[in-house]
Amino acid sequence: MPPGKWLIRGVIVLAVVGIVFSLANTFFLQTFFVFPSYTLFFLSLFTVFLAMLSFYYMLEQPVDKSPTKMPLFWFSFGNLFFYCITFFMFGFFTAFVKRSGGLPEWAFILIFSANVGLYACYLISLILNKRENH
């Protein structure tokens, strides 16, 4: 079986494991009344993995133009940037709550800024994609 098929199957298996984990987390670990930090931790880790996989794909199949002119670069960069920050902040949300009663003020500013950066990267990706298709 070619590596591409193994990779696709692996991603699908990880996605299914993530869904099962999310359901198990909701019903057994962190109930409906608790912030689902474990689920967000897994989701962020999975999204970072997929973003890194996209960069690997871009490196394995080089083109003659700059990566910053490619929509996939900006889409992957935005996801990597945002979800690395989210991975840290929401992954340790429960620890922040136990220690200090909630997230510190700087955390909200950081998450908001990362969110703006994510959507800016998505916008750049959409603009570049539209230019490529016309």
Report how far residue 81's alpha carbon sits from residue 38's, in angstroms, rounded to the nearest whole number.
19
pLDDT of residue 2: 46
- Domain range for 60 is 3-133
Q: Please state the domain count of the chain.
A: 1
Cα 62–chain centre separation: 24
Quick: pLDDT tens for 83-115.
888 877 776 777 777 788 777 788 889 989 999
Contact yes or no for 108/89 (Cβ under 8 A): no
Residue at token pair 């996605």 = 15
Report how far residue 48's alpha carbon sits from residue 116's, in angstroms, rounded to the nearest whole number.
18
Helix (H) or strand (E) holding 31: none
Contacts of 41 (CB under 8 A, 6+ apart): 87, 90, 91
